[in-house]
Amino acid sequence: MPPNLIMKEWKNRIYYSQCWEDPKILLEALQIAPNDRILSITSGGCNTLALALESPKSIVALDINSAQNHLLELKILAIKSFNYDDFLKFVGVSKCNDRAVLFEKIKPLLRPEVQEWWNTRMSLIRMGIIHVGRFEKYLNLFRNWLLPVIHSRESLKKLSLAKNLSEQNDYYKATWDNWRWRVLFKIFFSKFVMSRLGRNPVLFTYAGKRNIGDHYLQKTKYALTEIPIKDNFFLEYILFGTYRTQELMPPYLRKENFDLLKKKVDLINITTEDIKDYLTKSPDNSFSKFNLSNIFEVQPAQAADMIFAELARVSTNGGRLAYWNNLVQRKFPNNLTHIQEETKLSKELEDRDRVFFYQQFHVNTIRK
């Protein structure tokens, strides 16, 4: 499919119904204060909601893909309208046979274009909106079709019950790391399969020709042996397709945060636009903190440099940028001397990142 057609499709489809960046290291990187004005890439909306829980002054949730923004708007409306139990049912954490009925209760409160978009996609509502992204459906194929060929349900549970890294290492070496795991994993997470079933092909444009299946196998080994599994809600969802306990949920889904979240979601202003265009129109010193997800994955180096220059311009003095590199390594150009890499902090947080498939995590500070 030509790139322009891929981009057109990208702008009308949910690719990520959840965020696959760790909010814990994001919040440690940004250190949100009450006067902060935040620019946050929407994606699945989860991390924008986590930022709202920190009570900043304001948040702009920005995405080029209107479908991702429609998803966040629906999540926000569900948070404001439902009690906690109905919220978990509606989004797909808890079992529910009447999500369409719940949707009808809140549908009139959606903006007309968003209401129309969801009206034509009731099958997504019935699935539970945290499960409907292309990437989440891809993980569902992995969980339901590939994993059972490799490991039993009992093996998954034993892995998830490991009390410490020593137990995880022992279990990985003795039981998990068999030949079926290595061979089938590398095939399923190859560039060929992922670009057709899991991720937008545009995301591989600047990834080079390395063996991506091997790369992700090594990253997954690191996750299963070097990162504690007991509080890793990302692995929880990958292995089980839901969140079985409160401790294994993203911040916006946890009961202890729900009442506060109801009060804070109005801080979020949702905007659909390309980040380059949005930044170009923004005044100097507009924002103090930036959650940039992995937006540079689809950018050629020159375009990334231009975005960094605009980010530095619209940032206040002392502003913070946080962003991930997946298959494409990008960072600010050397000529932007007022952007500083927080090298020690970046590496420390990167080593604790519960989302194991990223190569790098960057924390930058703007000094004017």
For range 132-157, the mean pLDDT: 92
Given a cut of 70, is residue 209 above it in pLDDT? no
**pLDDT tens track for 26-55:** 999 999 999 999 999 999 999 999 999 999
Strand order in the sheet with 339-341: 268-272, 58-63, 37-41, 287-291, 315-325, 360-366, 339-341
Q: For residue 286, what is the domain's CATH number?
A: 3.40.50.150
Instruction: State phi, psi for 152 to the nearest 5 degrees.
Output: -80, 165
Could you give the C-alpha distances from 48 to 51, 63, 357, in angstroms and in order?
5, 12, 21
Q: Domain count for the chain, please give it.
A: 2
Q: What is the mean pLDDT of the chain?
A: 92
Same domain, 255 and 362: yes
Which among 199, 228, 248 is the end of a domain? 248
Q: Are residues 193 and 256 in the same domain?
A: no
> Is the predicted pLDDT of residue 4 greater than 60, yes or no?
no
Q: How confident is the model at residue 10 (pLDDT cuts 50, 70, 90)?
A: low
The answer to whether residue 264 is domain-embedded is yes
How far is it, in rounded angstroms, from Cα 361 to Cα 294?
9
pLDDT of residue 297: 85
**Cβ atoms 106, 51 nearer than 8 A:** no
148, 181: one domain = yes
For residues 192 and 236, which has the higher predicted lDDT (pLDDT)?
A: 236
- State which of 248, 283, 303 marks the end of a domain: 248
Does 105 fall in a domain? no
pLDDT tens digits for range 210-244: 688 898 899 999 999 999 998 999 999 999 999 99
pLDDT over 90 at 192, yes or no: no
Specify whether 362 is located in the same domain as 258.
yes
Q: Give the pLDDT mean for 15-30.
A: 97
Residues spanned by the domain of 305: 3-67+251-366
Q: What is the pLDDT of residue 176?
A: 94
In percent, how much of the chain has pLDDT > 90? 77
Whether 118 is in a domain gets the answer no
Residue 165 is assigned to a structural domain of this protein: yes
Q: Is the pTM of this model over 0.75?
A: yes
- For residue 99 the two structure tokens come to 């999500």
Based on the fold, state whether residues 138 and 195 are members of the same structural domain: yes
As a whole-number percent, the residues of the chain with pLDDT over 70 amount to 93
Asked if the structure places residue 304 within a domain, the reply is yes
Buried b vs exposed e over 192-224: b needs ≥16 C-beta within 10 Å? Answer: ebbbeebbbebbbebeeeeebbebbbebbbebb
Encoding tokens for residue 34? 């009450």
The verdict on 138 and 232 lying in the same domain is yes
Asked if residue 157 is part of any domain, the answer here is yes
Same-domain pairing of 140 and 240: yes
pLDDT of residue 206: 62
- Position 201 scores a pLDDT of 66
User: Is residue 234 located within the same domain as residue 284?
Assistant: no
At residue 299, does pLDDT exceed 90?
Answer: no
pLDDT recorded at residue 212: 84
42 found inside a domain:
yes
Identify whether 75 is part of a domain. Answer: no
> Do residues 143 and 243 both lie within one domain?
yes
Report residue 194's pLDDT band, with 50, 70 and 90 as the boundaries: confident
Q: 304-343, pLDDT tens digit by residue? A: 999 999 999 999 999 999 999 988 888 998 899 999 999 9
- HSE (side-chain half, CA atoms, 13 Å) at 36: 26
Weakest mean pLDDT among 76-80, 118-122, 136-140, 207-211:
207-211
236 and 265 co-located in one domain: no
Domain closes at, from 218, 248, 278 = 248
Stretch 104-119: mean pLDDT: 95
Same domain, 263 and 277: yes
Instruction: Clarify whether residues 227 and 318 are in a common domain.
Output: no
